[in-house]
Amino acid sequence: MLKRTPLFEKHVQLGAKMVPFGGWEMPVSYPAGIIAEHLAVRSSAGLFDIGHMGLIQIRNTKYEIRNNDGALELIQRLATNNASKLEINQCQYSVLCNENGGVIDDILVYRFADHYMIIANASNADRVLSHLKASAGGIDVSRWQDRCALSIQGPQAVGTVEKVLSVSLSTLKRNHVLVSNGMIFSRTGYTGEDGIELVVEKAAAPKIWDLFINANVQPCGLGARDTLRLEAGLPLYGHEYDEETTPLEAGYGWAVKFDKGEFLGKQALEKEKAEGLRKRLVGVELDGREIPRQGYEIFDVQGAKLGVVTSGTFSPSLKKPIALAYLTPHPPYTSPIFISIRGEKRPGKIVDKAFYKRVK
């Protein structure tokens, strides 16, 4: 049985096309269509149901947070980034690795006055919870059962949330948190735009959703989320990340802090850094309109295989096919490269992974 978020009925009422995703029944698009949803986020703001994401709380049994507390210690032993740098009401991107440096999940780590919170990908939430509990000792690790999350993304996200929910976010910096009126506001994003994520009580989520819909904010589904994150060059678990791929290969070495002490996967990542990457993630652009899909192979001019596409789409913003791909490292690549699409090799070129860069 597929799970449903508290907003399932709202999606059905709005005419959303529902699909299975990570064990959940989620909206892939609404009647306006993926392109309209995508462009709404690029030009103004879009509303996303992210109630399928895993919200996990980590607490000391004494509910204290100190520099050497057990909750922080647990996160430091398992995650690649340095959570000791977090101030209260701040969050950071991090990665959970296995012993070989492969990615179990990429996560957001939040620090609050009396606990930490981790947001995990929907498809990995149970695995992340078990992974944390297996090393927790006396630390309380549990799913936040009565809460869920929504997200407003776009250049007008902050102003939209302020107007709809009558809250002031003018001093909220990126990757910082505000707790107000029983809601948690964090300034984060996964679309290449500014954004606000809301953690709210499940019982209140439908009413809060309606407030944004009644303010004419465009609801957006998984389809637009994918095209937006791909334009921004952001990885998605199961595509750019898996247990055979390291954060260094994905270009997220900045979230791996080797100087913070021991953490799971550190030795493997240090070895990889010293010996060189087996593969690296790049951006690819194609001429024409044919879309490179996950699994399509990439070749050089001589016909030698270079790698494989991990994600591809037709970019609504750039109006051209784009893709993320892993290539096997060797001396600098030259254009053109060729992607095999239905038996035909289509020319393309290697570009920056961040295809779209927002105007700040």
pLDDT tens by residue, 39-88: 999 999 999 999 999 999 999 865 454 544 789 999 999 999 999 999 99
CA 162 → CA 80, 193, 320, distances in Å? 34, 17, 35
DSSP secondary structure, 25-91, as one string: EEEEE-TT-HHHHHHHHHHS-EEEE-TTSEEEEEE-TT----TT-HHHHHHHHHBSS-GGGPPTTEE
- Residue type for position 182: G
Helices (H), 67-156: 70-78, 125-134
Structure tokens at 213: 């819909």
The rounded radius of gyration (Å) of the Cα atoms in the chain is: 21
Backbone angles phi, psi at 38, to 5 degrees: -60, -50
pTM, full prediction:
0.94
β-bridge mates for residue 286, sequence order: 348
Backbone angles phi, psi at 26, to 5 degrees: -130, 155
Q: How far apart are CA 256 and CA 95, in angstroms?
A: 8
Per-residue pLDDT of the chain (360 residues; tens, 9 = 90+): 899 999 999 999 999 999 999 999 999 999 999 999 999 999 999 999 999 999 999 998 654 545 447 899 999 999 999 999 999 999 999 999 999 999 999 999 999 998 999 999 999 999 999 999 999 988 999 999 999 999 999 999 999 999 999 999 989 999 999 999 999 999 998 999 999 999 999 999 999 999 999 999 999 999 999 999 999 999 999 999 999 999 999 999 999 999 999 999 999 999 999 999 999 999 999 988 899 999 999 999 889 999 999 999 999 999 999 999 999 976 677 778 999 999 899 999 999 999 998 876
pLDDT tens by residue, 107-160: 999 999 989 999 999 999 999 999 999 999 889 999 999 999 999 999 999 999
103-107: long-range contacts at Cβ-Cβ below 8 A with a sequence spacing of 24 or more? 103/237, 103/241, 103/242, 103/243, 103/245, 103/246, 103/247, 103/250, 104/128, 104/131, 104/243, 105/237, 105/241, 106/235, 106/237, 106/241, 106/247, 106/252, 107/79
Omega cis (within 30) before 336: yes
Which uninterrupted H or E stretch holds 207?
Answer: helix 205-214
Structure tokens at 28: 């892939």
pLDDT number for residue 358: 81
